[in-house]
Homo-oligomer: A and B are copies of this chain.
Amino acid sequence: MSDDLLPPLPQSWQTTDILGLENLSLAEIRIWLDYAFRFKKLTNDCSKKVPILEGVTCTNLFFENSTRTRVSFSLAAKRLGAEVVEFSASSSSLSKGETFIDTAKTLEAMNVDTMVVRHQTPGTPQLLTEHIGCSIINAGDGPHEHPTQGMLDIMTICQHRTDIKGLTIALVGDIAHSRTARSNIWGLKKLGAHVVVCGPPTLVSRQWERHGIEVSYSLDDIVRRADVLNLLRIQFERQYTRPFPSVHEYALLYAMNRQRLEMAKKDILIMAPGPINRGVEITPEVADGPHSVILNQVTNGLAVRMAALWLVHQAAKRQT
């Protein structure tokens, strides 16, 4: 059925796992993006069921809380006709002393095709690929990577601008603890953007300059030059020490509000990976204003995840 609806998988897509944007080639990123737009169109803006993965079983192996990512992967799979098995850490055999890898091997022995994995430890999805034959998709591994989030951010920019190349795109806030920042950085760099990381010095390392990234501590400076602002949530749950005196002080310096919007380019795009903390990194008038594409990002997330599930499935089929 997929033969008629979609072009065949290009030879330059080789991987059966999606672990991060850092280790995808530019060609692979372009292919994923292309299929995401195709799936968005094919499913009528991600609302219609197109059962081209019927008979496929996807597992959500989530070891951290999640609404949007888990539900988004589930819906993406179900709209392609796949079966979804939900697995969460709290109700599992891990509390009986089983290792993480044995849990995954057990699911594999039940003929699961794809494992979507979220874990607090960086590298966990990579580790799984060394032990598990079925496809692994990283849905966030600690502060390391969150490739489908990075890709849906990229897709949302592409939807509103024809080309990423040459755009100034700023990631603002808690860069230190953000897997979303890392996935954006690797993807956007490959696509030719000028990437800025901006936030308090305690949360933004100068080391990024070695990767060709601009480091800034002043949103007031950046906001005048940026084509896109991606406002990251302060990840209080990942911080061991307070990186700034108070939330009020953070908001004064780094919240995107009306005053700062007035200094910005007229066609600036305001993005946020969500969940947003209104009044911290973004004020309600900006979050709900005409520059905001936050809910666009959510819809595109479905398309990006449908494409991811389809791509790894096609690559796995080609290997057998």
Contact = CB atoms under 8 A, between A and B. Distances in A.
Given A97-B275, A295-B109, A298-B110, A74 B85 contact: yes
A83 B46 CA distance: 14
A260 to B, nearest CB: 21
A87 interface: yes
B65 A96 contact: yes
A22 B301 CA distance: 39
Contact of A95 (B65, B71, B87): B65
Contacts of A105: 295
A81 to B, nearest CB: 10
Given A68-B106, A85-B71, A110-B302, A93 B55 contact: no
| Among A46, A47, A280, A302, residue most surrounded by chain B Cβ atoms (within 10 Å) | A47
Contacts of A57: 75
Given A96-B237, A237-B96, A274 B106 contact: yes
Interface string A49-60: 100001101000
A93 B110 contact: no
A6 B125 CA distance: 40
Contacts of A68: 93, 106, 110
A113 to B, nearest CB: 9
A91 B66 contact: yes
B274 A107 contact: no
Contact of A102 (B75, B108, B237, B275): B275
B91 A91 contact: no
B47 A111 contact: yes
A74 B99 CA distance: 22
A1 to B, nearest CB: 15
Contacts of A111: 45-47, 75, 299, 302
A75 B110 contact: yes
A277 B70 CA distance: 29
Contact of A106 (B65, B67, B91, B103): B67
The 5 closest A-B pairs by CB, nearest first: A98-B275, A109-B298, A93-B275, A47-B111, A109-B295
Interface of A: 45-49, 54-55, 57, 65-68, 70-72, 74-75, 78-79, 83, 85, 87-88, 91-99, 102-103, 105-111, 233, 236-237, 274-278, 280, 295-296, 298-299, 301-302
